[in-house]
Amino acid sequence: MTSKSPSDFLKNIIGKPVIVKLTSSIEYKGILACLDAYMNISLEQAEEWIEGQFKNKYADIFIRGNNVFYVTPQKKRNLQDL
Amino acid sequence: MTSKSPSDFLKNIIGKPVIVKLTSSIEYKGILACLDAYMNISLEQAEEWIEGQFKNKYADIFIRGNNVFYVTPQKKRNLQDL
Amino acid sequence: MTSKSPSDFLKNIIGKPVIVKLTSSIEYKGILACLDAYMNISLEQAEEWIEGQFKNKYADIFIRGNNVFYVTPQKKRNLQDL
Amino acid sequence: MTSKSPSDFLKNIIGKPVIVKLTSSIEYKGILACLDAYMNISLEQAEEWIEGQFKNKYADIFIRGNNVFYVTPQKKRNLQDL
Amino acid sequence: MTSKSPSDFLKNIIGKPVIVKLTSSIEYKGILACLDAYMNISLEQAEEWIEGQFKNKYADIFIRGNNVFYVTPQKKRNLQDL
Amino acid sequence: MTSKSPSDFLKNIIGKPVIVKLTSSIEYKGILACLDAYMNISLEQAEEWIEGQFKNKYADIFIRGNNVFYVTPQKKRNLQDL
Amino acid sequence: MTSKSPSDFLKNIIGKPVIVKLTSSIEYKGILACLDAYMNISLEQAEEWIEGQFKNKYADIFIRGNNVFYVTPQKKRNLQDL
């Protein structure tokens, strides 16, 4: 995926499933709804994974940018049941 | 819930029950009264939960933005008694 | 208490008793004299509480904003004697 | 002491004895010579106190703002001898 | 490699294999797709290495700048299989 | 020493022996060559002291501002031999 | 070496061997290629030293500024072999 800047990279994957890893090694898997210049991120149909364990589901979640470690497209989504 | 930017996302849920999780894993559940660009948040009828334990009630509380980890709408509110 | 923004919320409680909780779980209870956009706070007739223990009294105290965790109105003030 | 803003509060006590507490629980007691918008502080005739123990004297000391926790007027000064 | 400024240095290695070391001693090895002034970095064909152990592969990954420790060109790429 | 602002205070001691204490309790004793608004400091004929032990000498050293804890004039300089 | 400001000090040593110490007590010894206002630093022929042990060599390395602790000219360079 060629993008001129990292924010282009992120805009290219809006509406797609992503994994958002936070500095505290917690992961959120969901549909990237939108994000802003501070890397604040809104996810839809989000799952919370802590140390590889599925923990929680959120219809919508707003994650504050300064905790974001990396964002990567999620190849295959197999949704979890609570 | 489709929003153009994360702050739109948050504006959409003003007046509604939310869960505000802080980086120190403390949660505040209350009505999202208002917030600003720094993610400073005012909650009304707020409950303080620490490691899953209900601890405290606040009629109004102002939470400084830089401690905010995520914000998510609260599905069902069952208010606690102190 | 309806306020358009968190700073309105705080302005509404100037001159009133508040609890200022800091990220280090120290609390200052006093009259909110004034504050600024960085959340620097001046309290009058302030009491210092550490882990629920009353520790100190200050006629005036200036608290630097970046240590502030939350601010909430104090329902009933029962002043401590040193 | 009524002041419109925290920095007015601090200007009111320039030239007076203060206690400057730092986030590392070290205290500096001295005459508040001057300070700036970043909370950088210059003290004169300063004493260094670590966990309640008098440690050091400085004719002049410049303390960088981001380590400042709070500033409060010092009621009575009883100067220490090294 | 002579460059007038560090960002020139980084622009010179866009499209080339690099090692991105993060403050948490995790390394990402991949093709430097793009980066911005905040040191936000997009890598393609990225490998995640933790304490010298290959852990994961990402077709594309966006790494937030404030966790970056250093970036250096990767001499020889021997791609890992998951 | 009366100065209108902390940076005046520091300018007054340029060319003089100072002690620069860092947040990590390491001290640098040397001649204050220059400094800037970010508290970046250049010292000449600098000595490195760690927990009261003389460790190292530097003809010139540039110390990044955000690690600076305090700066104070050094009364008497007794230079160490490596 | 007289310089009007710390950044002049650093510009004076571009092209010369330096030691860059990071807040995590890791040192990089190399030729200072260039640096910018954020203290981002590019080194050439760089060696990585961890707790006094030579660890690695990099033809070019970009080090992010916020991890820099100090920079000092390196008196004598005795290059290491991997």
Beta bridge partners of F56: F48
Widest distance between CA atoms in chain C: 39
> What is the Cα Rg of chain B in Å?
12
pLDDT band at D16, cuts 50/70/90?
very high
- Contacts of residue E9, Cβ cutoff 8 Å, sequence gap at least 6: E1, E3, G33, G34, G42, G60, G62
Query: What pLDDT does residue D78 have?
Result: 73
Euclidean distance between CA atoms B47 and B30, whole angstroms: 6
- Per DSSP (E only), the strands in chain E are 17-22, 26-35, 41-50, 53-63, 68-73
Yes or no: say if C35 and C42 are a contact pair by the CB < 8 Å rule: yes
User: Is B59–C73 a contact, with Cβ atoms under 8 angstroms apart?
Assistant: yes
Q: Helix, strand, coil: what percent of chain D each, to 5?
A: 10, 50, 35
Of G35, G60, G67, the CB nearest to E72: G60
User: Is E3–G59 a contact, with Cβ atoms under 8 angstroms apart?
Assistant: no
Q: Assess whether chains E and A touch, using the rule of 3 or more C-beta pairs within 8 angstroms.
A: yes
Classified as helix, coil or strand, A9 is helix
Residues of chain F found within 8 Å of residue D40, distances taken between Cβ atoms: 6-7, 39
Question: Best interface-test mutation with G: which of F10, F25, F42 has the largest number of G CBs within 10 A?
Answer: F42
Residues of chain C found within 8 Å of residue B61, distances taken between Cβ atoms: 70-72
Q: Say yes or no: B56 contacts chain A, CB-CB below 8 A.
A: no
Euclidean distance between CA atoms E26 and A70, whole angstroms: 12
Minimal CA separation from G5 to chain E, in Å? 19
CATH topology of domain E6-69: SH3 type barrels. (2.30.30)
Question: Best interface-test mutation with D: which of C26, C39, C42 has the largest number of D CBs within 10 A?
Answer: C42
Query: What pLDDT does residue D29 have?
Result: 97
Residues of chain A found within 8 Å of residue B6, distances taken between Cβ atoms: 34-36, 40-42, 62
Tokens matching residue F60:
């010139």
Q: Assess whether chains C and D touch, using the rule of 3 or more C-beta pairs within 8 angstroms.
A: yes
pLDDT, tens digit (0-9, with 9 covering 90-100), for F16-70: 999 999 977 799 999 999 999 889 999 999 999 999 999 999 999 999 999 999 9
Q: Say yes or no: G37 contacts chain F, CB-CB below 8 A.
A: no
Euclidean distance between CA atoms B53 and B48, whole angstroms: 8
Helix locations, chain F, DSSP H: 6-12
Tokens matching residue D65:
């703002």
Residues of chain C found within 8 Å of residue D21, distances taken between Cβ atoms: none
D36-40 average pLDDT score = 89
Q: Which helix (H) or strand (E) holds C18?
A: strand C17-22
- Taking alpha carbons only, the member of D62, E8, E39 closest to residue F72 is D62
Q: Say yes or no: G61 contacts chain E, CB-CB below 8 A.
A: yes
D58-67 average pLDDT score = 94
Which residues of chain E carry a pLDDT beneath 70?
Answer: 1-3, 81-82
Residues of chain F found within 8 Å of residue D42, distances taken between Cβ atoms: 3, 6, 9
Better pLDDT: D31 or B23: D31
Question: Best interface-test mutation with C: which of B42, B44, B69 has the largest number of C CBs within 10 A?
Answer: B42
Of G9, G65, G69, the CB nearest to F60: G9
Classified as helix, coil or strand, F8 is helix
Q: Say yes or no: D20 contacts chain F, CB-CB below 8 A.
A: no
The CA–CA distances, whole Å, from B49 to A27, B58, C49, D57 equal 22, 12, 20, 45
Tokens 């590889």 -> residue: A52
Q: Phi and psi for B52 in degrees, rounded to 5?
A: 80, 0
Q: Which helix (H) or strand (E) holds G8?
A: helix G6-12
CATH topology of domain F6-73: SH3 type barrels. (2.30.30)
Query: What pLDDT does residue F65 have?
Result: 92
Count contacts between A and B (CB, < 8 Å): 54
pLDDT over 70 percentage in chain A:
94
- How high is the mean pLDDT of chain B? 90
Yes or no: say if G32 and G39 are a contact pair by the CB < 8 Å rule: no
Question: Best interface-test mutation with G: which of E1, E2, E3, E9 has the largest number of G CBs within 10 A?
Answer: E9
> What is the Cα Rg of chain C in Å?
12
Q: What residues does each domain of chain D span? A: 6-73
Yes or no: say if D27 and D19 are a contact pair by the CB < 8 Å rule: yes
Which range has highest mean pLDDT (A57-61, B36-40, E36-40, E78-82)?
A57-61
- Taking alpha carbons only, the member of C21, C71, C78 closest to residue C49 is C21
Query: What pLDDT does residue C77 have?
Result: 77
Tokens matching residue B42:
């005012």
Dihedral sign from CA coordinates of G31, G33, G37, G41: negative
Yes or no: say if E46 and E61 are a contact pair by the CB < 8 Å rule: yes
User: Is D6–C67 a contact, with Cβ atoms under 8 angstroms apart?
Assistant: no
Query: What pLDDT does residue F24 have?
Result: 76
- According to DSSP, residue G6 is labeled H
- According to DSSP, residue C67 is labeled G
User: Is E6–G67 a contact, with Cβ atoms under 8 angstroms apart?
Assistant: no
Beta bridge partners of B32: B43
Yes or no: say if B18 and B72 are a contact pair by the CB < 8 Å rule: yes
Q: Assess whether chains A and G touch, using the rule of 3 or more C-beta pairs within 8 angstroms.
A: no
Q: Which residues of B41-63 are buried (b: 16+ CB within 10 A; e: fewer)?
A: bbbbbbbbbeeeeeeebbebbbb
- Blockwise average pLDDT, block size 10, chain C, 82 residues: 78 95 90 92 96 94 94 84 64
Dihedral sign from CA coordinates of D65, D66, D67, D68: positive
- Residue B5's Cβ-count burial label (10 Å; 0-12, 13-18, 19+) is middle
Assess whether pLDDT exceeds 60 at residue B1: no
User: Is D71–C58 a contact, with Cβ atoms under 8 angstroms apart?
Assistant: no
